[in-house]
Amino acid sequence: MINQQLNENQQDINEGDISQDRYGDVTLIQQQQKTNRFWIKVCEINESLLGKTILVRARIHNSRIKGKIAFLILRENQSTIQAVLTKGEQTSSQMIKYIGKITLESIVDIEAVVFQPNIQIKYCTQKMELHIKTIRVISRSISKLPIQIEEASKRDVDYFYNLEQQKQKENQQENTVIQDIQEYQLSQNQRLNNRVLDLRTPAKQAIFRVKSGIALLFRQFLIEKGFIEIHTPKLLGFKTKNSYSNFNLQYFNQQAFLSQSSYIYKQLSIMADFERVFEVSPVFKAIHGNTYRELCEFICMDLEMVIKEHYTELLDLTEELFLFILKGIEKRFGQEIQIISQQFQFEPIKISQPIIKLTFQDGIKLLQEFDILQSPQYYLTISNQKQLGKLVKDKYGTDFFIMYRLPKEDQPYYVMPCKMDPNFTLSYRFFLRGEEIASGHQKIHDSEILINQIKAIGQDAQLLEDYISFFKFGTFPHGGCAFGLERFLYLYFDLKNIRNASMFPRDSSRLFP
Amino acid sequence: MINQQLNENQQDINEGDISQDRYGDVTLIQQQQKTNRFWIKVCEINESLLGKTILVRARIHNSRIKGKIAFLILRENQSTIQAVLTKGEQTSSQMIKYIGKITLESIVDIEAVVFQPNIQIKYCTQKMELHIKTIRVISRSISKLPIQIEEASKRDVDYFYNLEQQKQKENQQENTVIQDIQEYQLSQNQRLNNRVLDLRTPAKQAIFRVKSGIALLFRQFLIEKGFIEIHTPKLLGFKTKNSYSNFNLQYFNQQAFLSQSSYIYKQLSIMADFERVFEVSPVFKAIHGNTYRELCEFICMDLEMVIKEHYTELLDLTEELFLFILKGIEKRFGQEIQIISQQFQFEPIKISQPIIKLTFQDGIKLLQEFDILQSPQYYLTISNQKQLGKLVKDKYGTDFFIMYRLPKEDQPYYVMPCKMDPNFTLSYRFFLRGEEIASGHQKIHDSEILINQIKAIGQDAQLLEDYISFFKFGTFPHGGCAFGLERFLYLYFDLKNIRNASMFPRDSSRLFP
């Protein structure tokens, strides 16, 4: 069946043509031969190759026929280059016509000579020009693309963000600016429904390369600090958080839940003498209603470690980790940062040294000073957090700060209370651009106290008691911290919507693609 | 409440005691002070510290009082050391008594002087001896442990493996050997029910350190080859394999399935121009009935890449990857291999160079030669695979070989057929000790052919068609390969039961811990 996939299109065009050996569609079966040819990457084409004949495999990003000349823009990942072919003694009009008919986003093999163009090419990343010798189509795209790559690459204003801005503008009775933006604005749903195309845009290419890099930097730092990577189950027999946001399923003859947090398994690993552990894994949260800052499935970068005597051992390590990742991004992904900034306007992150550290009460005081809060609180709303972020930025000139000694009311039952005042806990949060990017704490390691705590808050102790029984076999004092990977990207690049930081995001209305 | 946790035990004993400042239980609240003391690791205690006073935090692995002397064996991870205290002018009998009462597996802080012992200590990893100056209990274990660490550390004969052997023996009417082994044999369930204790044994400590290392080596190799790490969803709107082994759940108002394989998302990433991608993530399989070689949740190490012209590009890369991991394990984990071999007797892996590569048909012929198969087959049973492994070992002296060009019947619909004979495919499997450890193939990248294939095998095309529509936007020829991480460990160390390679294994009857 596949053997019969000869391309009729090619046969029709080629007949009696001086250029007939220089173009055509490659069949599937022709793609199974070893020729040991060498393909050069578009990003590698520069002056050093002038005059040389090279072979490139790339997409047709753009094409036009102007008189006797075919102009192509070839794209490979984030790199683009112009390729041209002129009708002449060796080149038939059929070949020009064939090129003109190749649909955008098709993949071609091109043999070409590298030239210095007469006029500087501004719209391509590569400054050289290719003069085509042969062209073969490896895979044809359909002609009607649901979204255009060029359109999807334009400056992004987020859908939800947009709505919010629009509401504000409507109140001010000034609609003009927003309408201008929306004219060329693809909706988030258009993008996500056609995610494969949307991901081909330079900014998305860059975002997910940085994402890979962040997880790598996280691992690299921790492995150097003596941590090992663990893999804990996502199918659980109990709810990790006693809330409504659990996915549950039938697990043979039992009820199972999808993990919302690895915390108990990180703790069991510590009790099993693995001293310092980390995990990078998906977690699942049944969040009803879609917001711009939450996903139903995301990657949690989690660590847990033995604490010898004070939880600042943990806090200092995670602070160092965070700064290591930030420096690593800047160092390794300069080009990607540049590309992302073209689509998502963001201000570079400013961090004051030494890092600003506020107690929870300091934060409340600051909000009271500026009349944002009237009375002391034991909880900060998302909106309060953002306002605090702005105040801290104004006062200290930093986008990043640490808030520590959080109220007991705001923390889970298992967080260690403070020595001085048990209304507060040995806990902290990292804030970036006014949103939480990580949270950490020392945990109670005494089983009796734990069980009392559970009973005190009225949580169903039975569910957890079997786990807490493992604490009875001698437990190291310990604590941990967790970063959301998508949240990290979303806040670092100010992507406005966290879906921009997930290749195939999941929310309450989206399971596809 | 926590402030009142003063230890009464300590107060009773200490009264009027010359050693009273040198021992006692540390309360939770005392564990919140910063003293900037320095704890040395047990594994680091050697001759260089002779005569020095050091501070150690470790578990009581063993203890006995012999006359006026208290002997302790302290354990930290895989390392052990002897610590002693003798009654004398500075040391009261109360202090000796206190030490004698500390339960096994409790965690203590010990200040001690490092000595060279008079007699060589054979039962500890460290050859030095500690003379105790002070001892503080950080966390007490209950006295009745459900399983003993020493018992759990003994030579392991697996439960299922055991049963199998026993059956064989029963047929031979020779039960004696097996009974001897079972006398001191903990069942797999006893171990798993008390996993936190079982994981404290030296072999388990080593296994999970190697596990962390394998995933790291996998990443390291691929990142150097230009791959990026991706994170694809585990909550899916369709079944990745059209079989009964899907976990499903209610996802808001939709039906969702847990991913059994990332293959479609790896492919979409290739279509989204991420050229070379990998993922290390959990996958889920509802396997009814428990076998020694399968888990319901395991870690898949997955890669997918653009193929320029021939699937041997993929095969060669994964072969190199596999050998890189093997070499890396040997190089980095010499001590761990040694420790694991003490509990799980395994023969070191032998690999002939160049790697033995057989076509599927070569394999069948070999089995026919030895009368194991009578007629040609298009599928090898587990038992056939093991027999083939033995034949290959006998003939070529290798525990590892590659079988390629697998029959179409044995491969999913999306695997690319061979040019020469479409009854076979561009696919391969790696075999280690007669079991599959990885499988790879080039995939069909033409949407029309794919849809025809699906229809030909009668699979519900509708479920997949939305995904296959993404293939219409120009698709690079590509292929991929997947390793099971637990399977890797299980076969490498010949662990007999794959549960030994999962910290908290999941099977059809186990969701706890």
Buried b (16+ CB within 10 A) or exposed e, B293-307: bbbbbbbbbbbbbbb
> Tell me: the pLDDT tens digits for B410-454?
899 899 999 889 999 999 999 999 999 999 999 999 999 988 888
Looking at residue A9, what is its pLDDT? 47
A511 and B31 within 8 Å at the Cβ level: the answer is: no
Looking at residue A158, what is its pLDDT? 52
Highest mean pLDDT: which range of A108-117, B13-22, B234-243: A108-117
> Tell me: the pLDDT tens digits for A338-347?
999 999 989 9
Per-residue pLDDT for B71 more than 70?
Answer: yes
**A426 at B interface, C-beta within 8 A:** yes
Please report which confidence band the pLDDT of residue B175 belongs to, taking 50, 70 and 90 as the band edges. very low
Q: Long-range contact list for B282-286, CB < 8 A, 24+ apart?
A: B282/A231, B282/A233, B282/A234, B282/A281, B282/A282, B282/B234, B283/B234, B283/B258, B283/B259, B284/A234, B284/A235, B284/B234, B284/B247, B284/B258, B284/B259, B284/B260, B285/B245, B285/B260, B286/A252, B286/B244, B286/B245, B286/B246, B286/B247, B286/B508
Per-residue pLDDT for B181 more than 60?
Answer: no
Q: Which residue has the higher pLDDT, A375 or A42?
A: A42
Judging contacts by C-beta atoms under 8 Å, the chain B residues touching residue A418 are 32
CATH number of A202-501: 3.30.930.10
Nearest neighbour of A511 by CB, restricted to B5, B208, B236: B236
Tokens of B299: 């870690």
Please report which confidence band the pLDDT of residue A169 belongs to, taking 50, 70 and 90 as the band edges. low
A299 and B231 within 8 Å at the Cβ level: the answer is: yes
**A140 at B interface, C-beta within 8 A:** yes
B273 and A199 within 8 Å at the Cβ level: the answer is: yes
CATH number of A2-139: 2.40.50.140
Nearest neighbour of B512 by CB, restricted to A39, A237, A444: A237
**B427 at A interface, C-beta within 8 A:** no
> Tell me: the pLDDT tens digits for A222-249?
999 999 999 999 999 988 776 779 999 9
Phi-psi region for residue A12, left (φ > 0), alpha (ψ -120 to 50) or beta?
A: alpha
Judging contacts by C-beta atoms under 8 Å, the chain B residues touching residue A299 are 231
> Tell me: the pLDDT tens digits for A366-413?
999 999 998 888 889 999 999 999 999 999 999 999 999 999 998 998
Average pLDDT over residues A270-296: 95
Please report which confidence band the pLDDT of residue A179 belongs to, taking 50, 70 and 90 as the band edges. very low
CA neighbor of A273 nearest in space, from A482, A480, A478, A481: A478
CA A49 to mean position of chain CA atoms: 35
Question: What is the pTM (predicted TM-score) of this model?
Answer: 0.92
Residues 6+ apart with CB under 8 A from B168: none
Residues 6+ apart with CB under 8 A from B55: B37, B38, B39, B40, B109, B110, B111
Average pLDDT over residues A349-358: 95
Q: Taking all residues of chain B, what is their mean pLDDT, rounded to a whole number?
A: 90
Which residues 461-490 of B have a C-beta within 8 angstroms of A? 466-467, 470, 472-477, 485
Per-residue pLDDT for B202 more than 60?
Answer: yes
Which residues 208-237 of A have a C-beta within 8 angstroms of B? 208-209, 211-212, 215-216, 219, 223, 228-237
Average pLDDT over residues A300-326: 97
Looking at residue B376, what is its pLDDT? 83
Minimal Cα distance from A215: which residue of B?
A: B229
Question: What is the Cα–Cα distance from A87 to A98, expressed in whole angstroms?
Answer: 12
Judging contacts by C-beta atoms under 8 Å, the chain B residues touching residue A230 are 208, 212, 503
> Tell me: the pLDDT tens digits for B316-351?
999 999 999 999 999 999 999 999 999 998 999 999
Looking at residue B7, what is its pLDDT? 47
> Tell me: the pLDDT tens digits for B264-323?
999 999 999 999 999 999 999 999 888 999 999 999 999 999 999 999 999 999 999 999
Q: Percent of chain B at pLDDT above 70? A: 90
Residue A213, SS3 per DSSP: helix
Question: What is the Cα–Cα distance from B368 to B353, expressed in whole angstroms?
Answer: 25
**A269 at B interface, C-beta within 8 A:** yes
B229 and A212 within 8 Å at the Cβ level: the answer is: yes
> Tell me: the pLDDT tens digits for B447-480?
999 888 888 877 666 767 888 899 999 999 999 9
> Tell me: the pLDDT tens digits for A98-123?
999 999 999 999 999 999 999 999 99
Minimal Cα distance from B256: which residue of A?
A: A511
Q: Percent of chain A at pLDDT above 90? A: 78
Minimal Cα distance from A473: which residue of B?
A: B141
Per-residue pLDDT for A428 more than 80?
Answer: yes
B282 and A286 within 8 Å at the Cβ level: the answer is: no
Per-residue pLDDT for A161 more than 70?
Answer: no
Per-residue pLDDT for B127 more than 90?
Answer: yes
Phi-psi region for residue A256, left (φ > 0), alpha (ψ -120 to 50) or beta?
A: beta
Smallest CA–CA distance, residue A424 to chain B, in Å, is 13
Question: What is the Cα–Cα distance from B349 to A166, expressed in whole angstroms?
Answer: 66
CA A503 to mean position of chain CA atoms: 7
Average pLDDT over residues A55-64: 97
Q: Can you give the residue ranges of every domain in chain B?
A: 2-139, 149-198, 202-501
Nearest neighbour of B142 by CB, restricted to A33, A269, A472: A472
DSSP collapsed to 3 states, A334-388: HHHHHHHHHHCCCCCCCCCCCCEEEEHHHHHHHHHHCCCCCCCCCCCCHHHHHHH
